[in-house]
């Protein structure tokens, strides 16, 4: 089975024109997760917060894998600003 | 043996080592059998025991390895004048695959002739030894690339490496050069998925840094590309006087 993995994040979206032969939907899910985590590294370091990988087969769209970054502050933002001040 | 066949190798050795005109004559006298291959063809496979070294005369060659899940990792790109399997002279069983990227003209030099050459001409032995050390330096840089850099830097780094090395043998036109790797091939060299590679290409184009167009690569802003790629050409050891 040939699967296609399109990506969309805070900055760019890219269509997969090549696709990849994988044995099963479960393998496609794992591959999509792999793509999402690797793209997330680039997106998050550029202050983005989300990556969506949409998985298609030859005929239709199958599912999304969404990776979102969540920040939870344990102090106020003002406190952090003070800490970072040289 | 026609001088043109050996010229890319001589050009590189002249630029990066101290070989003499006498050494050049010995290299030119090597017995070389040429062979033309299409793109994507296997030259040597894992486990092979070659009895000749393969010289790239025209085209590009890939060294790669298939990892457990069937994924291909590209280990190195080779250009005219390179001898990708020089190690087979001493390491008799190949531990990776060697294949063509595009249509190639290859020259095969029997190991026996190579051994005689390095025994009789010590400066040539030094030059080839230096070659294998530079090879190792490039592998160290690729470890840093794949292990630490962002996908954008990785691609930029590989592109700059190809550009600097092609420049040495006069195969660039300004900041454009022909290197017909598909996005799949680039993805396999920087350890990303194809779609991630596609994203990086968009980003570099959007920033006005780099353009990939049907096998032609154009560096639009070399200073910016060098900066975003964390690129320092020292590891290529292009200048023997340093």
Q: Give all domains of chain B, ordered by start, each with its CATH number.
A: 3-138 (2.60.120.10), 150-236 (2.60.120.10)
Residue B16, chain A, CB below 8 Å: the answer is no
Residue B184, chain A, CB below 8 Å: the answer is yes
The Cα of B183 is separated from the nearest Cα of chain A by a number of Å equal to: 9
A45 vs A65: which has the higher pLDDT: A65
Tell me which chain B residue has its CA closest to the CA of residue A4. B195
pLDDT digits (tens, 9 = 90+) for B72-102: 999 999 999 999 999 999 999 999 999 999 9
Picking from B150, B152, B199, the nearest residue to A14 by CB comes out as B199
Where does the pLDDT of residue B114 fall: very low under 50, low under 70, confident under 90, or very high at 90 and above?
very high
Listed by number, the residues of chain B in 79-108 with a beta carbon closer than 8 Å to a beta carbon of chain A are none
Domain residues for the domain of A34 are 2-84
Residue B196, chain A, CB below 8 Å: the answer is yes
- B194-197 own/partner pairs: CB under 8 Å, 24+ apart: B194/A16, B194/A18, B194/A20, B195/A5, B195/A6, B195/A7, B195/A14, B195/A15, B195/A16, B195/A18, B195/A35, B196/A7, B196/A14, B196/A35, B196/A38, B196/A39, B196/A42, B196/B151, B197/B151, B197/B155
Q: Quick check: A69 and A49 in contact, CB under 8 A?
A: yes
Q: What is the pLDDT, as a whole number, of residue B125?
A: 95
Residue B71, chain A, CB below 8 Å: the answer is no
Contact B202 A12 (CB under 8 A): yes
Question: A-chain residues within 8 Å CB-CB of B192?
Answer: 38
Helix (H) or strand (E) holding B105: strand B104-110
CB pairs under 8 A between A and B: 49
Domains in chain A, number: 1
Give the whole-angstrom CA distance, residue B36 versus residue B105. Answer: 5
Give the whole-angstrom CA distance, residue B84 versus residue B121. Answer: 21
Look at residue B1 and tell me whether its pLDDT is greater than 70: no
**Mean pLDDT calculated for residue range B30-46:** 97
Tell me which chain A residue has its CA closest to the CA of residue B204. A12
Where does the pLDDT of residue B109 fall: very low under 50, low under 70, confident under 90, or very high at 90 and above?
very high
Residue A68, chain B, CB below 8 Å: the answer is no
Residue A7, chain B, CB below 8 Å: the answer is yes
pLDDT digits (tens, 9 = 90+) for A7-56: 999 999 999 988 999 989 999 999 999 999 999 999 998 899 999 999 99
Residue B183, chain A, CB below 8 Å: the answer is yes
Residue B193, chain A, CB below 8 Å: the answer is yes
Contact B196 A39 (CB under 8 A): yes
Residue reference for tokens 């399109």: A6
Contact A14 B192 (CB under 8 A): no
Half-sphere exposure for A7 (CA within 13 Å, toward CB): 30
Q: Quick check: B28 and B13 in contact, CB under 8 A?
A: no
Q: Which of B113, B39, B120 is nearest to B83 (CA)?
A: B113
pTM as predicted: 0.91
Where does the pLDDT of residue B231 fall: very low under 50, low under 70, confident under 90, or very high at 90 and above?
very high
Strand bridging mode B210-213 / B72-78: unpaired
Give the whole-angstrom CA distance, residue A47 versus residue A40. Answer: 10
């Amino acid at each position: 089975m040939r699967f296609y993995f399109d990506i969309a994040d805070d900055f760019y979206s890219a269509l997969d024109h090549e696709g990849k032969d994988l044995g099963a939907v479960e393998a496609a899910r794992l591959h999509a997760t792999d793509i999402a985590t690797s793209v997330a590294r680039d997106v998050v370091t550029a202050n983005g917060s989300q990556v969506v990988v949409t998985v298609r087969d030859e005929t239709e769209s199958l599912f999304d894998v969404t990776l979102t970054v969540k920040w939870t502050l344990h102090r106020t933002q003002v406190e952090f600003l003070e800490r970072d001040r040289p | 043996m026609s001088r043109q066949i050996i010229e890319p190798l001589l050009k590189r050795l002249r630029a990066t080592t101290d070989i003499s005109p006498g050494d050049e004559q010995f290299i030119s006298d090597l017995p070389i059998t040429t062979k033309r291959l299409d793109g994507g063809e296997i030259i040597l496979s894992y486990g092979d025991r070659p009895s000749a070294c393969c010289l790239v005369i025209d085209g590009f060659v890939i060294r790669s390895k298939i990892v457990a899940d069937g994924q291909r990792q590209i280990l190195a790109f080779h250009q005219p004048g390179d001898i990708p399997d020089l190690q087979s002279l001493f390491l008799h069983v190949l531990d990776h695959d060697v294949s063509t990227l595009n249509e190639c003209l290859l020259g095969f030099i029997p190991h026996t002739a190579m051994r005689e050459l390095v025994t009789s001409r010590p400066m040539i032995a030094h030059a080839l030894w230096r070659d294998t050390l530079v090879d190792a330096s490039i592998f160290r840089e690729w470890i840093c690339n794949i292990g630490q850099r962002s996908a954008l830097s990785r691609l930029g780094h590989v592109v700059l490496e190809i550009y600097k090395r092609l420049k040495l043998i006069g195969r660039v036109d300004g900041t454009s050069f022909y290197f017909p790797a598909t996005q799949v091939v680039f993805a396999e060299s920087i350890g990303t998925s194809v779609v991630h590679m596609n994203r990086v290409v968009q980003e570099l184009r959007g920033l006005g840094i780099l353009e990939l167009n049907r096998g032609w690569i154009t560096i639009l802003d070399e200073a910016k590309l060098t900066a975003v790629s964390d690129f320092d050409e020292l590891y290529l050891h292009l200048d023997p006087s340093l």
